[in-house]
Structure 1
C-alpha cells in the first residue's frame, strides 16, 4: 500500500495503486488481464476475452437508468516501460513505486503508467461502485496499445453493444478530444560489414540527460531526439575530418513512441586527445544552443576494453549519415485545425545487430497522404545508401465529428465543473478511437482525461487536482446520459 491510497477520489486511487503492483509493459499484459477477469467474475459481472486478449466487462444499469443509452468506457492495459539509466527495475517482475510530490504523483525512477492506468483505474472504480448513477455499462480493456494498438486492430465487430464510448486516454485537463492522428511504423535497416579492429583505443560515448517525452503530443515542443543529436555529433567529426575513427556499435532509445532521452556508441580511435577535444567542443555547443530546451544534456567519453570487430569504413560512413539525414520532427502543420501538427516522424529506437543497423520510426499524420509522403521520403533516402525500409502497423486517424450528443453533454458538464468552456481538440497522437470507429462506425466517441506530463519517460507525473476534476466529469456524464433513441 502506498500513500496515494489516501488521495481523493479514494476509490480511483486505490485501484491505480493496485494496478501499480501488477507488471504490465507492452506485450506483457497477461497478468493484469487475468487479474481483471478474475475480479469481474468474483463481482458477478459478465466478462469475456476475445481472440487477441481484449477484456470486455458488462454491468447492468443502476436503478432508474435502465432506459438510457448504453455507454462503453475504454482504456488500454499496457504501459510504456522506461527507466532511468542505471536503474535495476525489471518491468516484467517489479511493481511501479508511486509517490506523492506536492500536487503530483510520480514514480521512483521509472514511468508511472498513469498513461493509461488512471483511465483503467477509473473504469474499474465505476464498475466497483454501488453508489453511482449510470446506464448499462461496458468496460473495454485493450491489449498492447503503446506498441502497435494490437487490441484495437483486432477488435471484432458485433461484440460491443454500446451506443456511446468514452475513451480515457487523453492527458490534458480542460480538453475534450474528438479526433487524432493515424500512424504507421517504419523499420529502416542498413546492412553493415565488419572487420578486425586495428585502432589503438576503444571508447564508449554516451549522450544523456535529455527530457524525452511523447513522440506525438510533444513532437512540436523543441524536445531534442538523442539519436538524431548523437548522429549530428558523429557526422560533424567525419565531415570535418577531425580524426579517423570507426564504429563498433551505435544505439539509442528503447520504445518506438517515445522521444529518445539517451544514445550511445562504441568508437575506436588512435588519437585519444582529438576525440576528447571533440567531445568537449560538442558539450560547449550543447550548453550554448540547447541551454533552454535541454539544460541537462551531457556527452561523455569513457575508455573501455578494446573492441575486437568494427564497422568497415563504408559501413561507418553510411550508418552515421543515414541516421543524420533521417526526417524527424514536425513535417507539416494542419491547414484545418490551427496549431495542430498534421504530419510528423520520430525515430524512437536505434540498434546495432550482427549484420545491420536498424531504426524504428513512428510516422503520424491526420491524413493518409501525409503518412505516405514520409514513407516516400524514407524510401528515397534508404535507396541512396543501399538500406531498406519496411512499413507495418498502419492505423487510421480518428476523423473529428463535432456534432454529437455525447460531445454536447460532455462540453456542458465540463463547463459547469471548470467554470469555463473546455477546449475541443484534435490530438497529434495515436488514440484507439480511429480503429474502434472502423469496427463500430455508428458509435459516438469522445476522449478526456486528467493532466499527465512527460508520459513515456521516467519523468511522467499525473496532476492530483486534475484527477479529481476528471472523476467528477466522468461520473456526472454517466449520470446524465440521455435516453435511448
Structure 2
C-alpha cells in the first residue's frame, strides 16, 4: 500500500514515493537516471541522458503558450545518505522507508531526500498533468550536486532554448534565493608512520552532536566531531602517554560531522587518569555547547590488552597539530548583507589509513579571493606537515542580478496567492545556479522550495502543507508565463 496515496498534490507525492523507493545517493544515480529517461520515453518526450547520468527532458508548450519563452525547471536527483546509529539500511541497494508524522513526511531512521527529490517530483508531476498550462518546459535534473555539483559542471545544455529558470532546491517557503556562495572540495593528505605498541585498547567516541548542512547551518555553531576529537587527543597528551591505532569521523564533506571515533592504546595503569580527563572534557563541552549541541558526549570504552600498530610520536603530533590548527566553521561574515555568512569551511570526512590522515573539507565563499585565501591557508598547513591538498568540484558563486523578470513574476504571483510579501535573499550554501549561469547566456533564475527541515540529517522532514502551497505557486507561475 502506498504511504502517500491520500495526500495532495497527488501526483507530486506519487512521484516522490517512487523516487524514494530507488537508491539515489550521490555517485549511485544510474537507476534514478534511467527511471527519469523511461518516464520521458513512455510519454514521447524529447530526452537526453549523458555519461554522468544527468537528464534533460523537454515538453513542448500547451495550447496557447506556443509563443511564450521556455521555462527551465531544475533540480538534482542525488541525496545525502545519513542514518541513525543502529539503523540497518544499505543505501546502495535499498530505498527509503517513508512515513507521515502530522504535517511532516519523514523516512524511518534516515535522511528523507527531500533535498532534492521534491524538485524531481514537481517536474514529473507537471509533465504528467495535461491540465496544467505552461510554455515549453526544459527540465534539467543533475547528478552529484551534494558532492561538489559535479553533474552541473559536466552537463551539456546546448539543446536548451530557455533563459529563465526555476531552481527548486531551496528549503524555506516564502524565501526566494537570488545569489549564493561559490565553493570547492579540498582533499588534504598528511603522511603518517606506525610503530608497534603493547597495552590496553580504548575506544573514544565523540557523539550526540546535531550535525546539519555545512552551508545553511554552519552559522549555528554546531560542533564538528572531527575537530572536537582533535581537542580530545590534545588534552590526553598533556597527562597520559598513548598511541592512536584508528581515527575516523564524518560521512559527507557538506554535512557537519555528528560522530568521530578514535582507537587508542594506553598503559593499563593510566585508565583512571584517562577517565578523569574525559569526564573533565565532558563537563567543559557540555557548558560550551549547552545550546548548540546539548547532547554532546565523549564515550570511553575499555577493551582488551594486546599489541597494536599505532602512530609514531611524530605522526601523532602532526595529526593533533593539524586538527587543532586547521580553520573550521565560519571565517567571515558578509559586510554587504548583514547576517549572511560570507566564508566558511567544514572538515566533513576524516579517515586514518596505513599511509596518511585524509580529510575532505567543503569550502564556501561568496568572495572568490577569500575562497582562494582559505585554500592557501589549508595548503600551507598541510605542506608544513609534509602533506598536500587536492581541489575538486570548484564552482563559482551565483551573482545577484538587479533586473529579473522571473523574480518580478514569482513575486507578484506569491503576493496574490498568499497575501504576503516574499523574502528575496542570498544564501551561503551552494546552488547549481552559478555553474548553469555560465552555460546559459543571460540566465534569469530564482531558487525556492517548500519547508524542509534538518536536511542532511536523519531528522530531515518535509512539510506536506508547505509542499501543497509551493505546488500551487509553481502551477500559477507557469500559467502566467504566456
TM-score range, shorter chain: over 0.9
2:121 matches 1:103:
no
Q: Secondary structure at the match of 1:197?
A: strand
C-alpha contact (below 8 Å) 1:2/1:99 kept by paired residues: no
CA contact (8 A) 1:186 1:392 kept: yes
1:255 aligns with 2:231: no
Q: Is the 8 A contact 2:206 2:299 kept in 1?
A: yes
1:193-208 matches, cutoff 5 A: 193-198=193-198, 200-208=199-207
Q: Tell me which residue corresponds to 1:243.
A: 240
| Deviation, structure 1 residue 237 | 2.1
- The TM-score normalised by the length of structure 1 is 0.96
Aligned residues: 479
What's 1:461 paired with? 461
How big is each residue's C-alpha offset from its partner over 1:24-50, in whole Å with a ceiling of 9 and x where there is no partner? 010010001101111211111111112
SS of alignment partner, residue 186 of structure 1: strand
Shift of 1:247: 0.7
The residue aligned with 1:61 is 61
Counterpart mapping for 1:436-451 below 5 A: 436-451=436-451
Contact 1:207 1:297 in 2 (8 A): yes
Instruction: State the partner residue of 1:148.
Output: 148
Worse overlay, 271-280 or 304-313: 304-313
Bigger mean CA offset, 363-372 vs 288-297: 288-297
Matched residue, 2:7: 7
Determine if contact 2:330/2:344 at 8 Å carries over to the other structure.
yes
3-state DSSP class of the match of 2:400?
Answer: coil
**Cα offset, 1:416, TM superposition:** 2.0
CA RMSD, 1 decimal: 1.3
Alpha-carbon displacement from aligned partner over 1:390-414 (angstroms, at most 9, x marks no partner): 2222110101113111000011111
Q: Is the 8 A contact 1:104 1:461 kept in 2?
A: yes
Q: Deviations over 1:40-97 (max 9, x none)?
A: 1111111111243211111121121111110111111100111112221000111111
Q: Aligned partners of 2:204 and 2:358: how far apart in 1?
A: 19
Native 8 Å contact 2:48 2:55 kept in 1: yes
1:83-482 superposed matches below 5 A: 83-198=83-198, 200-238=199-237, 241-270=238-267, 271-305=270-304, 306=306, 308-482=308-482
- CA spacing shift, 1:299–1:307, aligned 2, 3 Å: farther
Q: Secondary structure at the residue paired with 2:398?
A: coil
User: Does structure 1 retain, via aligned residues, the 8 Å contact 2:163–2:441?
Assistant: no
Is the 2:256–2:346 Cα contact (8 Å) retained in structure 1?
yes
Q: Deviations over 1:68-127 (max 9, x none)?
A: 110111111100111112221000111111111122111111110000001110011101
Q: Secondary structure at the match of 1:471?
A: helix
Task: Please say if 1:79 is aligned against 2:79.
Answer: yes
Q: Deviations over 1:347-383 (max 9, x none)?
A: 0000011110010011101121111010111122223
Q: In terms of mean alpha carbon deviation, does 279-288 or 1-10 score higher?
A: 1-10
DSSP-derived class of the 2:151 partner: helix
Deviation string 1:390-445 (CA, Å, 9 cap, x unpaired) is 22221101011131110000111112223211111111011111110101122211
Shift of 1:307: 5.2
Task: Name the SS of the counterpart of 1:390 in structure 2.
Answer: strand
Q: Distance in 1 between matches of 2:309 and 2:320?
A: 17
Q: Distance in 1 between matches of 2:434 and 2:142?
A: 14
Match of 1:45 in 2: 45
Equivalent pair of 1:177/1:427 in contact (CA under 8 Å): yes
Checking the alignment, whether the CA contact within 8 Å between 1:155 and 1:436 is kept in structure 2 is no
Contact 2:163 2:440 in 1 (8 A): no
Counterpart contact for 1:5–1:17, Cα < 8 Å: no
Provide the secondary structure at the position in 2 that maps to 1:392.
strand
The answer on whether the counterparts of 2:235 and 2:277 sit within 8 Å (CA) in structure 1 is: no
Counterpart secondary structure, 2:360:
strand
Aligned residues of 1:178 and 1:402 also touching (Cα < 8 A): no
Distance 1:76 1:299 in 2: 36
